[in-house]
Amino acid sequence: MLTHHRLPVCLSLVSTDLPLWFTLETAATIYQKDQERFHLLLKEPAIQGLEPEPSIAGDTNPLKRDNHRLLWLEISPYRVNMTMQGKGNVGYRHLWEKGVYGISRYWIQSEPFNGHKSIQLRNYTRMLKLEGRPFPERLELEYELWSEKLHLGHYVLTLQIHHQGFPQDD
């Protein structure tokens, strides 16, 4: 049976060679798929300046104004997939596996009826470390992003899952 828990998390992405630093603290739902595989689902806030404002003046329906998107992580000690989907003009999917060139794909919708255009990049996972048993407590990924032969930076993604008051097996 699929088990799930709602827990506070902190997700951060830092570039070691570019002025990029993003931190998100929120609640997430974690689903245990088996002994070493977990799915984590959370809402990502809208990217300022990239998401359209509500088109109808005076629209008070909060569901229509909700620009949050779903961020879904599939986590194991060997591989991590991260997918962002939802409302808006930007989406992405990353596949990381230690010592392997994975794929980072971004979808950008320029006009409502023109469809989606995608950009595919490569990432090289230098380090993938998952800590915590029986439930993950910390994920750390170090990777490089590449477009053909052009290096687009070195990044560190960290996910901390806070288990205060959550039963742990010893």
Q: Any idea which of 9-23, 46-60, 132-146 has the lowest mean pLDDT?
A: 46-60
Residue 6 banded pLDDT, cuts 50, 70, 90? confident
Q: Is 55 inside any structural domain?
A: no
The number of domains in the chain is 1
Does residue 88 fall inside a structural domain?
yes
Name the residue among 51, 52, 45, 6 with its Cα closest to residue 23. 45
Measured over the CA atoms of residue 25, residue 21, residue 47 and residue 153, the dihedral's sign is negative
Instruction: Establish if 79 belongs to a structural domain.
Output: yes
Query: Taking the chain, what is the end-to-end CA distance rounded to the nearest angstrom?
Result: 22
- 104 within domain boundaries: yes
pLDDT at residue 118, rounded to an integer = 84
User: Which CATH number characterizes residue 72's domain?
Assistant: 2.40.128.20
Region 22-50: what's the mean pLDDT? Answer: 82
Q: Is residue 59 part of a domain?
A: no
Confidence of residue 168 (pLDDT cuts 50, 70, 90): very low
Pick left, alpha or beta for residue 99 (phi over 0 → left; psi -120 to 50 → alpha; otherwise beta): left
Determine, yes or no, domain membership for 89. yes
Within-domain flag for 124? yes
81-127 pLDDT, tens digit each = 999 876 667 788 999 999 999 999 988 766 655 666 789 999 999 99
Query: Is there a domain that residue 170 lies in?
Result: no
| Domain carrying residue 113 | 3-47+65-161
Is-above-0.85 flag for pTM? no
Residue 54 pLDDT > 80, yes or no? Answer: no
